Structure 1
Amino acid sequence: MDPAHLGVPQLKLDVTTPSRQRQDGKSGFRRCPPENIHFTGERRPLASRVWSSPPASPIFQQFSEQFKEVPNCAHGNFTPPQTPVQHQRRASFTTANEAIFHDYQGRVIHSDPSINKGQLFDPEARVKNAWEACQQPRICSREYEIRLNESSQREEFGRGAWSIVYKAECQTPQPKFQSSAPNLLSPPVSPIAGTDGCDRPTPGLVAVKSLARRDGQPVIEQEARILTYLQPSCSNSISYAGRFMTKFFGYDASLTALVLEAVPLTMIEYCEQQAMAVREESRRQRSMKPRVVVGMDVWLGFAEQLIDGLKYFHDHSVVHGDIKPMNILLRKGSGTHGLQPIYCDFSSSHVVHPQIEPERTTAWTIEFTAPEVLKSIARGDDVVATFSNDIFALGVSLLTPVMGNLPYAGASEFQKRSMAMQGTPLAFELPRPRDRSRDFVLIDKLLSAAVIRHVDQRVDASSWQSLHREIAREWKLSESANQGTAQS
């Protein structure tokens, strides 16, 4: 293209024709002298700029000169930076040496200044460092007083092999207020939140889990570490983990006790109450048709909440180790029909890591124990609970809201052990296939993926969660179709 059409001043070049012979007798071309280049000063009229860009401003020209060496900045066209990929678990650095871990919901779960950047992206190193930071469990900063009955005896929620859970009253905290100038016309200042970084128990009832026998102190201390690991000293993390487990307010070293959220209702108590109501209604209606005692919608809600909680524990490399309806509480005020199932009693729990020695599991309940564990116990082997054992135990526990009783009800201990070793509680508890309604077919589909004898065929928590969503969607579509048919 002729540069004259772009409005560029025309240069007239008067170049001497090169000769083959230089004055010194050597062959070659002769360089044009500078005085032979003349600027005519003429300017052609500007051509149409339909196919050209407008002239750049002086500021942009200066800016582009500074970045002309950058490959992506050629001709002033800048490529926007790529958006970083956000992973479920991530780490951020507030200083050069401080690493802050986040959980799967993006909330801070652990801060440790001794961790370097290389360890943040190694899952095993992340678990190990977070567990080592919990060598000393979180200390309870609240004062409480254990309730006494009319006989001056301590009131209990219940007791287990290692501990007794007492009812206690949490003392009313004294709010701290910010100081303000006396003569300023300003609204009152809100109280300052606690500085210990954890959820504080509201004034009222709390549960205090104390020793039932002297040799149980290591068990209580281990449970305190597990609860501190799952509910670090961050209010958001405790609130999120509290969706699946009792809230942990701290460890009382003076009494070797855990201060926990008080949730009086257990799943087994609720299911037994519902079973009595269903039997009474069936008697009035003279119907022998099997029914889900809590209702199919409630059962699906319970299963979803408990499977999500189990996945949360397993994602944090924690095995519960003693899942059963007696260790599942129902928190009122949330969840399906105002009830939210949560886990309690982590005395048999441990962290799974190749460099962390697992705790040998000593507390087992026959009805909810996987058959491979029962066989190992019968041989006298030391048994350590696994993720797969948790899956099996939860699958059997979810039979209780269906039938309203514990598995193998009415059988002797010998019969329970024999049937539990077979690993087929579904065939024993659920109605025969020809008598099953649509609800029982869906229940069998969900539980049979977890309650299976062969360990390698047992589903994991993540796949079980996906299967539950599929079954819940299928049930809702079927319910909508039935309602539409009934209305028509």
Structure 2
Amino acid sequence: MTSPSMTALRSSPESPSPEPRVEYADGRPLPLRTQTELDSPPRRPPTIEGLARIRRKSTYLAGDPLSLGIRSSSRRISRASSVVPEIESAWFEDLSRLDVLSPPMTPSRAFDSIHVKQRIEPPEVTLYDFTRLDYELERARVAGTGLWSTVFLADAAPKFSPASTEEPLTPPWSPPATYKHALPSLYAVKVPARTDAKEVFRQEAKILTFLARYPACQQFVVGFHGFDERNSSLVFEAVLGGSLENLNSRLKQMTEVARHLEMISIFPNLAEDLINGLAFIHDAGVVHADIKPANILLDISTPDHTPSSKPIIRARYIDFSASFRPANPSDSLKHAGGTWTYLAPEQMHLQPTLNTPTPASDIWSLGLTLLSLIIGTSPYTAACADTNNFMLREAIKTGDPLRFAGSDPVCRKRLVACQVFVDCCRCALVLDRERRITARAWRRWVEGHDLGF
């Protein structure tokens, strides 16, 4: 039914005669067509100011001339066409506020460039998150000492949360989530022993953070939890199997036969772990620069967690305080040195081009470390007792530690009994560093020889 007001509006002589309108069968008029895409120029991205003035819905009243709506739309389009290129980027930011029938015809490379600019680079140093789980250093026990640091074994600090007195309205829909890897209950905290050790620790944290980006790192390097800015300490995974130096001390307490059987059992796996680990470190572009028995930790585990099962011993590297990346000029060489007994012969010279640690000097240090495990002591002990630095330096410069080891009767018997192990060490103990084997080639040598008798 037509209302009287609408009848009066149509019959009024003052109002212009509208065009004939088509109606539905029930008398309702069809929607009035005010403007189409053919009536107006192509749309351009509006300015930020124009976004607020765009009308979502037509407010055209019957009797208003259609030309007014077209002119106002043309003015808005002309204003939008004067947008400078840098403001056109707002089109993508405010696209969700517009009623657009089709997406803009902009190449997807525009979004890719935005993502590249906003890409987050990995941190240079991993910081220890003590808010997640802290440690108690006050009751920690000393695990070892060194030139720059003291290492403590610290228990994880308990976290107390206030108990809720309110009962839940409904029971939980699912059981609490269980995590695949439990949080550690024991940490190894490396605390600086000197004021100038903070710079050394920062450099070590950079190297460990860099190596930790590779998934294979956890197999060959002791796990690094981060650099604790509260006390400039380094927080590591606690490895309770002791060091290779501790293993040498335990082997000295055995009889010669028992020691030989134990050596046959553990040496092949230890040598394989250490050679593979050194190949990983060198492939990552890092020089360790201080390989020795005290800087190798042993992780002892049982495969089926039963007392009768034979334990598995895995070797991993620690103490990267002297390490650096030769290709990274920001890495400091000021503290790159080593321990005298395990230095390569070329490092005894005064020229910096010779005494600077290299991957070849790492190879020598590991070869001498494995040789020390076989004979139970330093190969230079018989010649100079490791106390006379002048004699020790001259012995190292000869580049023939096997000859010095053979001068002791006990060491000579142990060398003869484990000749295949000695051949493994001989690959690394070459005087000329240019002819010295690389870590990759050494690994291939081990794979081609049966060290397990």
Smaller-chain TM-score bracket:
0.5 to 0.7
1:363-402 map, 5 Å: 363-376=337-350, 383-402=355-374
The answer for the alignment partner of 1:304 in structure 2 is: 272
Over 3 Å counting, the alpha-carbon distance change for 1:324 and 1:434 in structure 2 is closer
* Match 2:175 to one of 188, 206, 221: 188
Shift of 1:139: 2.8
* Match 1:424 to one of 378, 389, 400: 400
- Secondary structure at the aligned position of 2:253 is classed as helix
Over 3 Å counting, the alpha-carbon distance change for 1:460 and 1:200 in structure 2 is farther
Does structure 2 conserve the Cα–Cα contact (< 8 Å) formed by 1:268 and 1:400? no
1:135 partner amino acid: E
The answer for the alignment partner of 2:218 in structure 1 is: 242
- Secondary structure at the aligned position of 1:243 is classed as helix
Q: Is 1:413 the counterpart of 2:388 in the alignment?
A: yes
Q: Is 1:348 the counterpart of 2:322 in the alignment?
A: yes
* Match 2:197 to one of 208, 212, 216: 216
2:195 partner amino acid: R
Q: Is 1:444 the counterpart of 2:422 in the alignment?
A: yes
Does structure 2 conserve the Cα–Cα contact (< 8 Å) formed by 1:249 and 1:260? yes
Shift of 1:271: 1.7
1:42-121 map, 5 Å: 96=112, 113=119
The answer for the alignment partner of 2:157 in structure 1 is: 171
The answer for the alignment partner of 2:438 in structure 1 is: 460
Which piece of structure 1 moves more, 313-322 or 351-360? Answer: 351-360
When normalised by structure 1's length, the TM-score is 0.59
- Aligned-partner Cα distance in 1 for 2:438–2:299: 26
The answer for the alignment partner of 1:254 in structure 2 is: 230
Deviation string, structure 1 residues 89-109 (Cα, Å, up to 9, x no partner): xxxxxx946999xxxxxxxxx
Over 3 Å counting, the alpha-carbon distance change for 1:387 and 1:370 in structure 2 is same
* Match 2:239 to one of 259, 263, 276: 263
The answer for the alignment partner of 2:148 in structure 1 is: 162
Does structure 2 conserve the Cα–Cα contact (< 8 Å) formed by 1:275 and 1:403? no
Over 3 Å counting, the alpha-carbon distance change for 1:324 and 1:332 in structure 2 is same
Deviation string, structure 1 residues 278-314 (Cα, Å, up to 9, x no partner): 34x58xxxxxxxx747422311110000011111111
When normalised by structure 2's length, the TM-score is 0.63
Over 3 Å counting, the alpha-carbon distance change for 1:173 and 1:245 in structure 2 is farther
2:119 partner amino acid: P
Does structure 1 conserve the Cα–Cα contact (< 8 Å) formed by 2:200 and 2:335? no
Query: What are the ranges of 5 or more consecutive residues in structure 2 without an aligned counterpart?
Result: 1-110, 162-167, 304-309
Give me the identity figure in percent.
26
Deviation string, structure 1 residues 308-347 (Cα, Å, up to 9, x no partner): 1111111111111100001111112169942211111110
Larger radius of gyration: 2
Deviation string, structure 1 residues 377-406 (Cα, Å, up to 9, x no partner): xx6889432111111100000012211223
- Aligned-partner Cα distance in 1 for 2:412–2:247: 29
Which piece of structure 1 moves more, 393-402 or 414-423? Answer: 414-423
Does structure 1 conserve the Cα–Cα contact (< 8 Å) formed by 2:371 and 2:422? no
2:338 partner amino acid: W
1:248 partner amino acid: F
The answer for the alignment partner of 2:128 in structure 1 is: 139
The alignment yields a C-alpha RMSD, in angstroms, of 3.4
- Secondary structure at the aligned position of 1:168 is classed as strand
2:264 partner amino acid: M
